[in-house]
Amino acid sequence: MRKFTPLWPAGHLPHKGGDQLGVRSLAQCSVSAGDRGFFGAKVRPLVISPPVGEMPGRAEGGLLAQTAKVLFATLLALLPLPALAQNKPDVERQFQRWIASDLSPEARKAGVSARTIDAAFKGVTLNWDLPDLVPPGSKPPKQQDQSQAEFSSPGAYFSEKRLQGLAATGRGLASTHAATLKRIEAAYGVPGEVIVAIWGRESGFGKARLPYSAIEVLATKAFMSTRKPMFREELIAALTMIERGDVSASVMKGSWAGALGQPQFMPTSYLKYAVDFDQDGHPDIWNSVPDSLASIAHYLQQEGWQRGRDWGFEASIPVNVSCAQEGPDLAKPISAWASTGITRISGKAFPSSELKAPGMMLLPAGRNGPEFIVTPNFYVLKEYNNSDLYALFIGNLADRIAYGVGPFQASWGDVGKMLRSDVLAMQKALVAKGYDVGNVDGLPGFKTRRSLGDWQAKAGIAPTCYPDASLKAKLR
């Protein structure tokens, strides 16, 4: 049985239900973090570990979720064949018929030649070790009831040892590739340190092992997974890449989720964002550092990166300033935030170039952790992976690479020990009182946090803008 290399696709699904705004792209995948998940990527040459509960775009879940899935797949493989809906040889034959009579005609309509299709699928069989498989004749597994699951503290996401290692390596590589990064920033407007931070977070600066045939993975999941339509689209995009001559099927290696190369793009993202920056005739996100770095920058530029602006600032928000003003839909000029007494926690002034530009309050742990004033570029980082904590991780890592700073100065409080069912009950109570909490899913996104803070203030409770056990009996 093969061991999963937990690489993630970048840039997809929201972690806080309906609380995420501004997500325009669901076309990419990565080794990334979620604001439901809280462990970062390992900076080792072989394997990158995803964060707990992370759902980077079209990937398949987080480290703990993946562990459970892998264990389930292992147990399933040990069951006698009658326990499966059909035996494997029969399913393999169905798979080959599906390629010939179902997938191939659609690929041909998309401009992929029969020669490319035949070459790409030569010797390809189903990978039975992948998670989330639904063989023909079987029923999709029931989703695990998360009502009694705890959600983790955001602080666990920011491993200081991991960040220090990424920053040290990133500074060296930023120096090595300084000329290339300068050209990329001139072309796309994205600072080199941000590009390098994403590069490190996604694939360990290109050192992560990519052991899977992308065609095998995508075909298996397009034929018999819980997300067949999405993987079918990605498979045809991968065949288009081969048809264009960008990469051969044998070289197209990726993660178990089908994410490709150093930026961890899904094939549809490759077709949209990959750049031939070294001008050798085709974008190569596997072996070309210039192409990989420029592709990351192109992605951010296309998703709205504002040249010359920062991603955000750790801030000190006075207790008399309501924490219920959080969210990308409540932006105001940074000078307006400053006029309320909000300052940078570093003691430095907000840059004069930022004062007239919009900023947003962000309190991922309410009053129980670091507080921020972020810019629209923060939400562009979330386009790469739709997670507050991922974007904060990238922002902090970029600042470490560029300026040698350390961790966020405020400490993360001891939060995140409640059951999702308890948070769900609070959300339902808030909705009954007329509040908009976003998705009612037991996860405290920004709409839940600010609604809770507003209710606390009206109830005469010092607003924390974060759920805790003491509020369960009070909020009914």
Per-residue pLDDT of 48-65, as tens digits, reads 223 323 333 333 333 333
Q: Per-residue pLDDT tens for 353-378?
A: 999 999 999 999 999 999 999 999 99
The pLDDT of residue 309: 98
* Assigned token pair, 357: 């530009």
Q: Residue 182's pLDDT is what?
A: 98
Residue 53: predicted pLDDT: 30
Spatial distance between the Cα atoms of 93 and 113, rounded to a whole number of angstroms: 23
pLDDT of res. 143 = 62
pLDDT tier at 418 (50, 70, 90 boundaries)?
confident
Is this prediction's pTM over 0.95?
no
DSSP sequence for 306-368: -TT--SEEEEE--TTS-GGGBSGGG-EEHHHHHHTT-EETTSPPPPGGGTTSEEEEE-TTGGG
Confidence of residue 208 (pLDDT cuts 50, 70, 90): very high
What mean pLDDT comes out for the span 64-91? Answer: 53
Average pLDDT, the chain: 85
Q: What is the mean pLDDT of residues 192-208?
A: 97
Q: Would residue 17 be called left, alpha or beta, if left means φ above 0 and alpha means ψ between -120 and 50 degrees?
A: left
- Read off the pLDDT of each residue in 232-241 and give the average, rounded to a whole number: 98
**Domain chopping of the chain, boundaries:** 312-387+397-403, 420-471
Instruction: Please give the pLDDT value at position 3.
Output: 40
Q: Answer whether residue 11 shows pLDDT above 90.
A: no
Which has the closest alpha carbon to 151: 11, 265, 44, 36? 36
- Give the pLDDT confidence of 252-306 residue by residue, as tens digits: 999 999 999 999 999 999 999 999 999 999 999 999 999 999 999 999 999 999 9
The phi and psi torsions of 361 (rounded to 5 degrees) equal -80, 135
pLDDT of residue 139: 84
Report the distance separating Cα 219 and Cα 20, nearest Å: 31
Q: What is the mean pLDDT of residues 160-184?
A: 98
Residue 414's pLDDT band, with cuts at 50, 70 and 90, is: confident
**pLDDT on residue 140:** 83
At 5, the pLDDT band (50, 70, 90 cuts) reads very low
Which contacts (CB < 8 Å, 24+ apart) does range 422-431 have? 422/467, 422/469, 422/472, 423/151, 423/448, 423/467, 424/147, 425/472, 426/452, 426/467, 426/471, 426/472, 426/475, 429/475, 429/476, 430/455, 430/475
Pairwise CA distance, residues 349 & 229, whole Å: 50
Report, as an integer, the average pLDDT of 83-107. 89
SS3 374: strand
| pLDDT at res. 26 | 30
Distance between CA atoms of 463 and 456, rounded to whole angstroms?
5
Residue 141: predicted pLDDT: 73
| pLDDT band for position 144 (cuts 50, 70, 90) | low
Per-residue pLDDT, 10: 47
